């Protein structure tokens, strides 16, 4: 277990969040996670790191793995300026994450509280799987616990129907 994962799990423990954890081979995409064949992959979320065209607002969109996300539809639903994918440097600078490791748990590294987190409303009241800030493991936990932790940290977070 590397330092990023250990730090994330310690934060979950400190918050009293119940979770299950599995280490696995590096998985850069949702398809990579599914191909691993580990139990619970049907609940693993797809996460996208996007920004508006002025680089004023950054978002982690957490959606069901089987959803196609139209950035145009997402921007309209969110009332945002035009959305595009953020680059690797922005991901590293704002969330301390590497490409392929995007997760709503990245809020733990967002000292400036600049990133907004948007979860698919279908996750409300359910358990989802996300990377614990590194794509060599997955944690399954209640989506509502993630939302509560993000709010306590001070980042903006909400559910949205995708």
pLDDT tens digit string along 90-139? 999 999 999 999 999 999 999 999 999 999 999 999 999 999 999 999 99
Residue 15, CB half-sphere, CA atoms under 13 Å: how many? Answer: 23
Residue 150 structural domain: 3-160
111: left (phi over 0), alpha (psi -120 to 50) or beta: alpha
Domain count, the chain: 1
Contact assessment for residue 134 and residue 106, using Cβ atoms and an 8 Å cutoff: no
Return the CATH number at 103: 3.90.960.10
pTM of the model: 0.94
């Amino acid at each position: 277990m590397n330092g990023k994962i250990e730090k994330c799990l310690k934060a979950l423990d400190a918050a009293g969040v119940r979770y299950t954890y599995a280490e696995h081979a590096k998985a850069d995409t949702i398809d990579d996670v599914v191909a691993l064949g580990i139990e619970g992959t049907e609940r693993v979320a797809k996460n996208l790191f996007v920004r508006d065209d002025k680089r004023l607002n950054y978002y982690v969109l957490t959606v069901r793995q089987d959803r196609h996300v139209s950035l145009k539809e997402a921007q309209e639903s969110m009332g945002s300026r035009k959305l595009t994918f953020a680059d690797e440097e922005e991901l590293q600078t704002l969330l301390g994450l590497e490409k392929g490791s995007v997760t709503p748990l990245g809020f733990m590294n967002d000292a400036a509280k600049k990133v907004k987190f948007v979860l698919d409303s279908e996750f409300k009241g359910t358990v989802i799987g996300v990377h614990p800030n590194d794509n060599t493991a997955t944690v399954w936990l209640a989506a509502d616990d993630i939302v509560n932790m993000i709010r306590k940290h001070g980042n903006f977070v909400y559910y949205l129907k995708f």
